[in-house]
Amino acid sequence: MIEVQDVRVDPMTRRTWRGDREILLSRKEFDLVHALIVRAGSVVSREELMRDVWGVTFWTSSKTIDVHLGWVRRKLGDDTRQPHLITTIRGQGLRFEVATATEATGSA
């Protein structure tokens, strides 16, 4: 079981929870979340995601990642305009955050 913030992923059963609520993810959505959460705190490039999740070493558009990421953010309840779980690092890739902005600063 992998847990970061309040998201838990079980790679053996391919199940995901946010808090105590199970989140039903498609196969690719789960693979995307898993690829990011196992490297929580680190930026994962789009090239790495295409290789690890889609099994290809090339792509013509990052729209595939963006579309799946949008679905994942909605299902996890992460604000698509101000995400706190999975953030986009412009020009570098995506990062599953290890703490929310509030937790990182110690603010209430």
pTM of this prediction? 0.88
Give the CA angle between residues 66, 46, 18 to the nearest 5°. 60
CATH architecture of 2-96: Orthogonal Bundle (1.10)
* Residue of 56, 40, 49, 46 lying closest to 3 (CA atoms): 40
Q: How far apart are CA 69 and CA 29, in angstroms?
A: 8
Task: Region of 55 please: left (phi>0), alpha (psi -120 to 50) or beta.
Answer: left
For 41-98, the pLDDT digits (tens) are: 999 999 999 999 988 877 666 688 999 999 999 999 998 889 999 999 999 999 999 9
In the chain, domain spans = 2-96
